[in-house]
Amino acid sequence: MKVSKEQAELNRMALLEAASRLYRRHGFDGVGVAQIAREAGLTHGSLYGHFASKDHYAAEACVHAFKKGLDLLKRFDAVDDRPLESFRRKYLSEANRDDPGNGCAIAALAADAARKPGPVAATMTQGIESFIDAFTERLSDREHAMTTLSMMVGGLILARASAEANASLSKELLDTVLGALEEPGA
Amino acid sequence: MKVSKEQAELNRMALLEAASRLYRRHGFDGVGVAQIAREAGLTHGSLYGHFASKDHYAAEACVHAFKKGLDLLKRFDAVDDRPLESFRRKYLSEANRDDPGNGCAIAALAADAARKPGPVAATMTQGIESFIDAFTERLSDREHAMTTLSMMVGGLILARASAEANASLSKELLDTVLGALEEPGA
DNA sequence: TGTACATCAGTGAACGCGCGTTCACTGATGTAC
DNA sequence: TGTACATCAGTGAACGCGCGTTCACTGATGTAC
C-alpha cells in the first residue's frame, strides 16, 4: 500500500542503512537483497522503486558508508587537537576490527569493488579520493596521507583476516601499525 | 573413465592452478566450481574426488598461491642483493595491479577470507604469517616487516579499486607507496 | 470542511538462472593368475 | 607375456536452493471539486 512521502524517504534511508551495514559485514556477494530489505523492515520488491539494480543500490550504500566515516573524522576535529591520531586509534582498535559492519568501507569492500566495474567501482574511487583529501588537509602532505591510509587499510585487513586463527598476531598487527603511524608526530 | 595415477595427480594440480588463478581474479564468490574445473580441462564432478568441499578446495588453492608468492621472493634472493626492494617494485607495479589472478593472495583475498570461518581463514592466516616471517628475515625487524606488508597490501588494494575510475590516482598511489618504502634503505 | 477518486509506495508470488553437491555410470588402469 | 577382471578417476544429468528481478495487485495518501 502507498505510504506518505516522509515515510517513503525514511524507508529509503532504512534500506541504505541496512545495506551499508550488511554489505560491509558480509561483502557484496555475501548477502542478498531480500535479507537486506527484511533487515530494513520492508520486502525485496520495494527496493526496485528506490534503486535501479543491486549494483546501483550497493553503490549508494557505499556513499552512505563513506559519509558516515568522514563525519566521524570531522567530529574529532571539533573536540580534539589531534583528530587524525584519535581517528587512527579508533580505526586500529579491536572493536573496529571486530565490527566491520560499522567500520571503514574501504577496508571492507575495496577488494570486492575492484572486481565490479560500474557504479560500485566509481563510488569506491570517490570514497578513496575523499579520504585521501581529508587526510591531506590534516597532515598537510598528500604523500604522507596516501601512505598513512594505505597502511591503515592494509593493517586492518590483515588483522581481520588473522583474528580467528591467530588472535595474538592480529592484535600485534593492530598495535604495530598504530605505533608506526604515531611515531613521526608528537 | 579411470586415468593413471600420474595423470590424476596432474589433474589435481591443474585444478589447484586454475582455482588459485580464478579465485584471486574474481574472488571466492565470483566464480563457480564448474567454471574452474572447465578451465582445468575437467568437469565439476571430478572435483569432489580430490577435495571435500568448495571451502577446502579454496583453502588448498590459497596454499598453492602462497607457495608461488614465497618462491618468487626466494628467487630474488639468489639474483639480487636487495631482494625485498625488487619484490616491492614488482608488487607495486601496474602489471601486478592489473593481473590479480597471478598476484598476491593476501591483497586479492584477505578481505574475503576474513568473512569465511573455517579452512580458508586458517590458510590465509598461515599465509600472512609466512610473509611476515619472510619479510622479517630480510629486514631483521619484525615491526618493520609488519608495517611494510600492511602498506604494500593496502596500497595495492587502493590502486586496484581506483584503477578503472581514476587511473592517475591509481598510479600515484603505487608510486607514492613504493617511494615511501624505498626511502629508509639505500 | 467533506467527498470521490487518481496516484503510487509497498507486497509477495513467480520467473529464469547459476550455484554447490550427489551419484549411477563409464571405461581405462593396473593387478592376479 | 597374455588374459580376465576388480578398481576407481572422471563424466554429466539431476537435486534443492537462493539469487536478482518483474509485475499484477493492494490500499493508504493526497488532490480536485
Write out pLDDT tens, residues A20-54.
Answer: 999 999 999 999 999 999 999 999 999 999 999 99
**Shortest Cα distance, chain A CAs vs residue B35, angstroms:** 17
Read off the C-alpha cell for B123. Answer: 590458510
Evaluate whether A94 touches A50 at the Cβ level (below 8 Å). Answer: no
pLDDT for position A81: 86
pLDDT for position B133: 98
Evaluate whether B22 touches B109 at the Cβ level (below 8 Å). Answer: no
pLDDT for position A117: 87
pLDDT at A62 over 90: yes
Tell me the backbone φ, ψ of residue A181, rounded to 5 degrees. Answer: -80, -25
- Tell whether B177 lies on the interface with A, counting CB pairs under 8 A: yes
Please report, rounded to a whole number, the percentage of residues in chain B having pLDDT higher than 70: 98
pLDDT for position B1: 78
Q: Is the CB of B142 under 7 A from strand D?
A: no
Average pLDDT over residues B77-89: 92
- How far, in Å, CA of A174 to CA of B146, rounded? 10
- Tell whether B157 lies on the interface with A, counting CB pairs under 8 A: yes
Average pLDDT over residues B117-124: 96
Q: Note the CA–C1' distance, B1 to C26, in angstroms.
A: 6
Mean of the per-residue pLDDT values of chain A: 96
Of A155-159, B2-6, B63-67, B128-132, the one with minimum mean pLDDT is B2-6
